[in-house]
Amino acid sequence: MRFASLAGAVLVAAVSSAHAQSSTRAADPTSLSLALARAAPGDTVRLAAGYYEDIVLPVRDHRPAVVIDASAATVRSLTIRGTAGWAWRGGRIVSPLPPKVWRNVLIDNARRIEVSGTVLTGGHTGVVVTRGSEDIVLRANRATGLQSDGFNIATARRVSLIDNQCTDFRPIPAIFNAKGKMLKDGTHPDCIMMWSEKGQTPTSDLTITGNRMSGKMQGITHFWHPSLGRGPVRNVKVLNNIVDVSWWHGINMDNTIGLTVRGNRVSSIAGARSPAFPFSPIRTWLKFEGTGIVACGNSVEDFPTGPGTKPC
């Protein structure tokens, strides 16, 4: 009995100590930098309602992650560079257009990062994950009113994009003459776009599931550009997404090693046409190329018997 009592006391003390080490820190625009710098693993930093300028998370290695509750905040931009163990939740990130800001959120050479439940709007690109970032979760975010892409993944590994939305993009249109020749190019929005870079760790181990995209954009894409020396992307799962867009590339995965495409719904928005003469109707496709590909059980409205539509 004495041993049991002693063991129980040790357990209670350990639990109490763990709770004591975690705390919730309130922060406003003037105190946020100090609150982030002092946050300990497992803490929550809660942002007061208000407007915050460009936020740069400090270089730390938190285990467990520090949670930033931004649900009441509006932020100009968020940079997560060379740091680890942060979970950003909620709020609105409203960025100006370039050259002032190029993306709402930059995740650069970072690890164990979550961004969830956040509205990304106003600027050029929603989220960029790049330069060897690992173990990244982008969940239930809404990219809307952007000029270019929703989510870019480049030279990153173990990235999950789950239940995000892309809507109401506002691309710069290309300009064509009466014969359909392009005079000036515009932006080419994609909801989710990935690529590898020459001489860097290939983009790999991506899970893209439950996302919804609708409007003036392409859907989920990897375009191979051999002239740039870019290699393949590897081990990508594209599952149960809804793609209803105004361009041909619904799901387009070039030069992929290890790809699963299953349970997606792909369609073109009603009345979508090419912006150049002869203004042909858009027929949105699912296309893939590479090795180790499993593609089945997808619904493609404009190509109902095309690649990837057979039952699994």
Full-model pTM: 0.92
Q: What 8-state DSSP symbol labels residue 163?
A: S
Burial of 106 (0-12, 13-18, 19+ CB in 10 A): buried
Burial of 289 (0-12, 13-18, 19+ CB in 10 A): middle
At residue 183, what is the residue type?
L
pLDDT band at 224 (very low <50, low <70, confident <90, very high): confident
Cβ contact 110:82 at 8 Å: yes
Give the number of other Cβ atoms within 10 Å of residue 214's Cβ.
19
Structure tokens at 84: 């680890």
Among 49-63, 135-149, 225-239, 282-296, the least confident range: 225-239
pLDDT of residue 37 exceeding 60: yes
Number of domains in the chain: 1
pLDDT bracket for residue 11 (50, 70, 90)? very low
Per-residue pLDDT band for 227 (boundaries 50, 70, 90) equals confident
pLDDT at 39 over 60: yes
* Residue-level pLDDT at 178: 95
Q: Which phi and psi (to 5°) does residue 36 adopt? A: -65, -40
pLDDT computed for residue 10 by the predictor: 35
Query: What is the percent of the chain where pLDDT is above 70?
Result: 94
Cα distance between residue 272 and residue 176, in whole Å: 17
Q: Is the per-residue pLDDT at 19 higher than 70? A: no
> Which residue range is the domain that position 57 belongs to?
49-300
- Residue 41 — very low, low, confident or very high, per pLDDT cuts 50/70/90? very high
Distance CA 160, CA 169 (A): 22
Q: Which amino acid is at 201?
A: T
User: In 3-state terms, what secondary structure has residue 219?
Assistant: strand
- Tell me the H-state helices in the chain: 2-21, 32-38
Residue 51's pLDDT is what? 98
Please name the residues in contact with 50: beta carbons below 8 A apart, sequence gap of 6 or more: 28, 29, 72, 73, 74
Distance CA 195, CA 234 (A): 10
Q: What is the pLDDT of residue 170?
A: 95
Q: Can you tell me the mean pLDDT for 106-135? A: 98
- At 16 the pLDDT is 39
Quote the pLDDT of residue 230.
85
pLDDT tens sequence across 162-221: 999 999 999 999 999 999 999 999 999 999 999 999 888 899 999 999 999 999 999 999
When the pLDDT of each residue in the chain is averaged and rounded to a whole number, the result is: 92
Is 231 among the domain residues?
yes
Query: What SS3 class is residue 231?
Result: coil
> Which residues have a Cβ under 8 Å from the Cβ of 191 and sit 6 or more positions away?
143, 149, 150, 151, 166, 211, 213, 217, 218, 219, 220, 243, 245
Would you place residue 99 in the very low, low, confident or very high pLDDT band (cuts 50, 70, 90)? confident
Share of the chain above pLDDT 90, in %: 88
Cis bond upstream, residue 202 (ω within 30): no
What does the pLDDT look like over 64-86, one tens digit per residue? 999 999 999 999 999 999 999 99
Question: Binning pLDDT at 50, 70 and 90, where does residue 7 land?
Answer: very low
- pLDDT confidence band for 297 (50 / 70 / 90): very high
Tokens representing residue 164 in the block: 């995000």
- Work out the average pLDDT over 254-258: 96
Residue 68 one-letter amino acid = I
Per-residue confidence band for 5, with pLDDT thresholds at 50, 70 and 90: very low
| The two three-digit tokens of residue 264, written as one number | 């997606």
